[in-house]
């Protein structure tokens, strides 16, 4: 399917458009008597926290002048669950399911950032097969996250059917997660030193089937949305922000790439064998809402490419490190080896100890630079776990993006910002 | 990452502001005097570290000075990171805000204030960000009890108030 061309302008106006243009609007308000103009009045509007267009429990205090947004103040913390505090009270390997629940659409990424930091502290060698398996799951998760973003964003803009299509494809991904780990969300699949289990037989053909289907489906999303005049009018040219301002606000990920800066940690500072794969980084040109949409949609194709390369080149070998001090021994060894039994007991009761130090480990999540800071004091529990969540930092860009635009564009921009409140509030 | 030598060179340029340099797991950290945070970040910005990736707090309990604020800087053209760290005592945890030069620090400094009680001078809007505004205490400090938070639902709260009358 070839990419659809945008609808041509004036000469070939449809009957509908001509009718629409023939409607004349009278000036909305005459100036009030006494010299004061209605437009001088500022209205403060509380938006959320329970509003479907805020993508979670985000509350925005919007200052409006008529329909123009003059300022936006995000108020957050409604789903603050103290995950960073909880993590300090758990052994290193028990922290993994806790941090996975931060950014609930990108659970593999949370686990990867945390595990990467712990592995750096421990200086554990991760087997190549485990790295490839991680890449496969990370990129599948990226697609799933982008699908939810695409579906809910389109829903905000009035396109309902695309939401159902996106969830249909996400279901395929969740089925794959269920196959490899037994859980559909928050899988605890990544472990320190590798992954918990090798992929089962039957995973590969199912994944290949998905890889075949996904680009076709993404083509369909593209052709539905790119030929939808309402979507295009609400996205094109609305709320742009240049790369320099975005950088000063700390914004990374698709939002920055939409403004033309090709910064992507998978390319710039590869981790988990990303240097082995051949993929492109989609970038936008002007950084408006349409570019943000187009960049993410294009990323789905690139993720499919990465997954198929990782699947083709999946090396043989162990799926987790053989270092018994950090990884559980295989189940069958427990019956025959005393040493394995002792290691198992030590790991399950106390956990492993990590050399003292501090590490900041950044990775590229679907929303930008997701980094985990871990400080170890030498015990078996982390002394501090901090997640630099991209949603939290990117949210600061909402006000500069939307100032001076219509309130309806603010809804579109919030959707294109892709904030995940679980990650923002942690 | 600057290598160990590169880190020493940067530390040499900064002179007396630097208290300690740590090179650990191929990551470079400068520990500096809290009073020198703004000139230090400005100097590093001139060296190419133009992106402030993260600002976060740490509680080093029981070590003194207890609190720490960590700034993660990134040079995107050389793909080079450096960490700037400062330590503050709990009795007067005050440090200059860097929000004017680095707008990204705004929310992150508010989070450090909220969670650790570090107050940032000249911050444009230093309020709690994640915890409720009337909350007492700074929950990420290590001496703040975990699970010490009473969960009061509206129904129970009314009963509780009744029982006290």
pLDDT at A376: 92
Element (H, E) at A358: strand A357-365
Is the Cβ pair A359, B27 closer than 8 Å?
yes
Name the pairing type of β-strands B80-88 and B27-32.
Answer: parallel
Structure-token match 């950032």, residue found: A113
Pure H helices in A260-312: 265-268, 289-312
Question: Is the model's pLDDT at B116 over the cut of 80?
Answer: yes
For position B4, what pLDDT does the model report? 75
Most A CBs within 10 Å: which of B130, B139, B143, B148, as the mutation test of the A interface? Answer: B130
The pLDDT, as a whole number, for residue A220 is: 92
The pLDDT value given to residue A117: 93
In whole angstroms, how far apart are CA A397 and each of A371, B41, B86? Answer: 19, 22, 27
Count CA within 13 A, CB hemisphere, residue A118.
33
Which chain A residue shows the shortest CA-CA distance from B98?
Answer: A248
Would an 8 Å CB–CB cutoff place A263 in contact with chain B? yes
Q: E strands along chain B, which residues?
A: 18-24, 27-32, 51-59, 67-75, 80-88, 94-96, 119-121
A84 neighbourhood in chain B, CB within 8 Å: 115, 140
Taking the Cβ of residue B19 and every Cβ of chain A, the question of whether any pair is shorter than 8 Å is answered with no
Residues of B in contact with A375 (CB under 8 A): 58
Mark yes or no for CB contact A86/B146 under 8 Å.
yes
- Chain A partners within 8 Å of B21 (Cβ): none
Residue A370 pairs with which residues in a beta bridge? Answer: A363
* In the predicted structure, residue B126 carries a pLDDT above the cut 70: yes
Q: Please tell me which of the candidates A85, A248, A369 has its beta carbon nearest to residue B140.
A: A85
Q: Is A355 on the interface with B (CB under 8 A)?
A: no
Residue contact A386–B56, C-beta within 8 A: yes
pLDDT tens profile B57-91: 999 988 888 999 999 999 988 888 999 999 999 88
Radius of gyration of chain A (CA): 24
How far, CA to CA in Å, does A320 sit from each of A285, B50, B72, B126? 42, 38, 31, 45
pLDDT at position A16, please? 59
Q: Is A290 on the interface with B (CB under 8 A)?
A: no
Nearest of B146, B140, B143 to residue B69 by alpha carbon: B140
pLDDT for position A32:
47
More confident of the two residues B155 and A218: A218
The mean pLDDT values, 10 residues at a time, for chain A of 426 residues are 52 59 50 52 83 84 87 89 90 92 91 93 92 94 94 89 92 93 90 90 92 93 89 88 91 92 91 91 90 93 94 91 87 88 90 91 92 92 92 92 89 90 89
Q: What is the pLDDT, as a whole number, of residue A22?
A: 55
Q: What is the pLDDT of residue A394?
A: 92
What pLDDT shows up at residue A9? 47
pTM of the entire predicted model:
0.87
Q: What is the C-alpha to C-alpha distance for residues A115 and A277, in angstroms, rounded to an integer?
A: 22
Strand arrangement, sheet containing A68-75: A42-47, A59-65, A68-75
C-alpha span between A289 and A412 (Å, rounded): 7
Per-residue pLDDT at A8: 47
| Cα distance between the two ends of chain A | 42
Residue B15 confidence (pLDDT): 80
């Amino acid at each position: 399917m070839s990419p659809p061309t945008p609808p041509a302008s004036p000469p070939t106006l449809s009957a509908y458009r001509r009718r629409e243009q023939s409607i004349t609007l009278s000036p909305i308000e005459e100036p009030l008597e006494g010299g004061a103009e209605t437009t001088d009045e500022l209205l403060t509007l509380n938006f959320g926290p329970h509003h479907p267009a805020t993508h979670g429990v985000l509350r925005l205090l919007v200052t409006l002048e008529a329909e123009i947004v003059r300022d936006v103040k995000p108020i957050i913390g409604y789903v603050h669950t103290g995950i960073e505090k909880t993590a300090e009270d758990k052994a290193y390997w028990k922290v993994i399911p806790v941090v996975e629940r931060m950014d609930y659409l990108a659970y593999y990424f949370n686990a990867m950032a945390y595990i990467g930091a712990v592995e750096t502290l421990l200086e554990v060698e991760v087997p190549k097969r485990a790295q490839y398996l991680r890449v496969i799951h990370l990129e599948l998760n990226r697609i799933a996250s982008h699908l939810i973003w695409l579906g809910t964003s389109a829903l905000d803009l009035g396109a309902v059917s695309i939401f159902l299509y996106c969830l249909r494809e996400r279901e395929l991904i969740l089925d794959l997660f269920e196959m490899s780990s037994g859980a559909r969300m928050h899988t605890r699949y990544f472990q320190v030193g590798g992954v918990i289990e090798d992929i089962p037989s039957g995973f590969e053909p199912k994944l290949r089937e998905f890889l075949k289907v996904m680009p076709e489906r993404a083509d369909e999303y593209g052709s539905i949305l790119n030929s939808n005049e309402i979507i295009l009018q609400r996205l094109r040219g609305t709320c742009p922000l240049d790369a320099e301002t975005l950088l000063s606000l700390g914004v990374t990920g698709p939002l920055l790439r939409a403004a033309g800066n090709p910064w992507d940690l998978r390319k710039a500072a590869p981790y988990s064998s990303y240097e082995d794969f051949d993929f492109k980084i989609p970038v936008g040109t002007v950084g408006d809402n349409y570019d943000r949409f187009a960049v993410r949609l294009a990323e789905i194709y690139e993720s499919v490419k990465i997954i198929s390369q990782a699947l083709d080149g999946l090396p043989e070998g162990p799926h987790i490190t053989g270092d018994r001090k950090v990884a559980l021994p295989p189940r069958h060894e427990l019956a025959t080896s005393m040493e394995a039994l002792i290691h198992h007991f030590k790991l399950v009761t106390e956990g492993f100890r990590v050399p003292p130090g501090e590490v900041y480990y950044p990775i590229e999540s679907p929303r930008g630079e997701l980094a985990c800071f871990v400080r170890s004091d030498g015990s078996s529990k982390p002394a501090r776990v901090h997640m630099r969540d991209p949603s939290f930092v990117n949210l600061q860009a909402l006000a500069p993006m939307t100032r001076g635009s219509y309130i309806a564009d603010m809804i579109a921009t919030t959707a294109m910002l892709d904030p995940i409140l679980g990650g923002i509030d942690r | 990452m600057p290598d160990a030598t590169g880190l020493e060179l940067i530390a040499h340029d900064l002179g007396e502001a630097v208290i300690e340099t740590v090179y650990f797991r191929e990551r470079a950290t400068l520990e500096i005097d809290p009073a020198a945070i703004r000139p230090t970040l400005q100097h590093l910005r001139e060296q190419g570290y133009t992106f402030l990736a993260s600002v976060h707090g740490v509680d080093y309990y029981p070590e003194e000075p207890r609190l720490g604020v960590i700034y993660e800087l990134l040079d995107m053209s050389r793909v080079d990171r450096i960490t700037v760290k400062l330590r503050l005592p709990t009795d007067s945890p005050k440090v200059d805000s860097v929000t004017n030069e680095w707008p990204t620090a705004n929310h992150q400094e508010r989070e450090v204030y909220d969670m650790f009680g570090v107050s940032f001078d000249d911050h444009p809007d230093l309020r709690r960000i994640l915890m409720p505004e009337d909350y007492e205490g700074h929950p990420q400090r290590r001496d703040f009890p975990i699970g010490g938070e009473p969960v009061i639902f509206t129904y129970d709260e009314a009963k509780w108030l009744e029982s006290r009358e």
